[in-house]
Amino acid sequence: MSAAAAAGWWAGHRIRVLLPALFLAPVLFFVLASPRSSPSFFAPPVSREHLPSGSRVIWAQRRAVEWRPCGWWQRKAMPAPGSRNGYIRIDCYGGLNQLRRDLCDGIAVARLLNATMVLPKFEVAAYWNESSGFADVFDVDYFIEQTRGYVEVVKDMPEEIALKEPFKVDCRKRKGHFDYVESVLPTLLEHRYISLTPAVSQRRDRNPSYAKASYCQGCYNALRLNKKVEAKAIELLQVIPKPFLSLHLRFEPDMVAYTRCAYNGLSSDSLGAIEAARGEDRKVLIGDDARLWRNRGKCPLTPGETAFILQALGIPTETNIYLAAGDGLMELEGFTSVYKNMYTKSSLLAHEDFERMHGNTKAALDYYVSVNSDAYVATFFGNMDKMVTAMRTMQGLQKTLVLSRRAFANYTAAGLAGDQLSKAMWDAHRADYVMGRGSALPEHCFCEFKL
C-alpha cells in the first residue's frame, strides 16, 4: 500500500480504531497498574518518610534497626579435635518447640564437651498427644550433613556402647548457672555414653565461640522437616487464601491457670475450665501482687484484646488470618466477631488427615506456615514464637511482631480506653517495630544492623 493510500485509509477509519482504544485504555491501565500481590497492609514502605499523621499501617513504617544472622558463625565451621570424649544423647521433653529448644541447647553442650552426638530422643508425652520421634518430624540425613564441621552426629554407635543404657544426667532442675565442663564432663569420661536433658535457664553467652557457632548452625540451619511432613505443610500453605497473616494466639485454660491471672467478663464455661486446670499451687493472685504481675506483662491477652490491638495497628478486619494454635482456645468469638476471615489446620485439611496427626506434626504445620506467612504476629513470646521469629529473621522476613502485654496492661491500668488506648498501643508497637524490638532473638546468633 502506497503512502497516499495508507493516509486515505486512516482518514476514513480513524474513528473506528480510536473509539475502542479510548474505552479500553482505562481498563488496561487498571489491570496493568494495580498491585498483583499484596494489598497495602502487606506492602513495604515506598519512601523513607513516615506516613502522614493519623495513618496506622504498622508494616509501612521505615525501620531504623533490623536483626540479621551474624556472619561470624556462618563463614566457617570450627572443627572439633580428632578424638572424642564419648557419646551423648539429648533427651527432650514437651511439645515440639520445647523439644526443639532442648535439642538446640544440647547441640552446643555436645560440642562443648567434645562428644559425639547420637540422634536425640523425643520423650513420649501423653499430655501433648505425642509418641513421635526425631525422625518422624525432622530430616535426619540433612541434620547430620549440616552439622558436620560443627559437631559430629551419628546414627549408630559401636556395639559395645549401643548395647548399654546411657547414664542419665538431668540438668533441668539445677539452680543458677553452672559449668557443663566441670559438672558433666567427668561423668561422660567415666561412662562414655550419657543422656542429657539441658538446663532451661543456662546462659549461652558464656560458652566459647565454637559452642556458640554449633548452637546457631544446628538450631537455625540444620533442622528442617522431613519430606512427608513438609509435603503436608506445603499442601496446607497452598490452600490458605493469600496474602495472609499468621497469628499465634495463646489463651488456653492451663496457660491462664499457670499465670495465676484473673480476668473479668469471661464466660462461665471459660472460668470453669480455668478453675479445673488451676490446681492447689496456682491460686489467683490478688491485690498489689496481681497488679504488679499484670503490669509486668505476665498475663496472656484475651482474643478480644488481641483483636483490639490488631485494629490499633491498622490491620484491616478483612485480612486473611491463619490461626496457629492448639486445641482449647477460650473466648475465640471475641476475635472472630471482628476478624471473620480466619483459617485453621482443622478447617483446611481433610478430616482423616488431621485426626491421624500427632501433636508434633500439627505443631510442625503451624511452624512451617508461620515462618512462610506474609506477616506473623504473636501474643505470647513462648518457645514457638522465639523459633518462628528467629527463622523469619534468618530469611529476612521482617513483618514480624510480638504484641506487648506489658504496654496493654499499663495503659489500661492508667484508665485509657477506646481511641486513647488505640493510639497508645499504636505508638508503643510502632516504636518496637521501627527499632527492631520484639521480632528476633537478641542472642549471639543475631546481630543488630542500623538501616
pTM of the predicted structure, to 2 decimals? 0.85
Tell me the pLDDT band of 125, cut-offs 50, 70 and 90: low
What are the residues whose beta carbons fall under 8 Å from the beta carbon of 43, sequence distance 6 or more?
35, 59, 60
Return the C-alpha cell found at 135: 525422625
CB-based contact 339:317 (threshold 8 Å): yes
Look at 164-168, 201-205, 354-358, 420-424 and tell me which has the smallest mean pLDDT. Answer: 201-205
Q: Distance (Å, rounded) from C-alpha 274 to C-alpha 262?
A: 10
Domain spans in the chain, listed from the N-terminal domain onward: 73-220, 227-251+300-450
Q: What mean pLDDT do residues 72-98 have? A: 85
Return the C-alpha cell found at 125: 508425652
Share of the chain above pLDDT 90, in %: 61
Q: Distance (Å, rounded) from C-alpha 188 to C-alpha 84?
A: 11
Q: Distance (Å, rounded) from C-alpha 263 to C-alpha 18?
A: 68
- Which one is the CATH code of 227-251+300-450: 3.40.30, 3.10.450, 2.30.230, 3.40.50? 3.40.50
At 398, give phi and psi (nearest 5°): -95, -5
Q: Same fold for the domain at 73-220 and the one at 227-251+300-450? A: yes
Residue 358 confidence (pLDDT): 76
Q: Distance (Å, rounded) from C-alpha 124 to C-alpha 441?
A: 29
Q: Does CATH place domain 73-220 in 2.60.40? A: no
Higher pLDDT, 271 or 48: 271
Q: Does residue 98 have a pLDDT over 90? A: no
| Residue position matching grid coordinates 468469638 | 333
Q: Does residue 352 have a pLDDT over 80? A: no
- State how far Cα 250 lies from the chain centre: 13
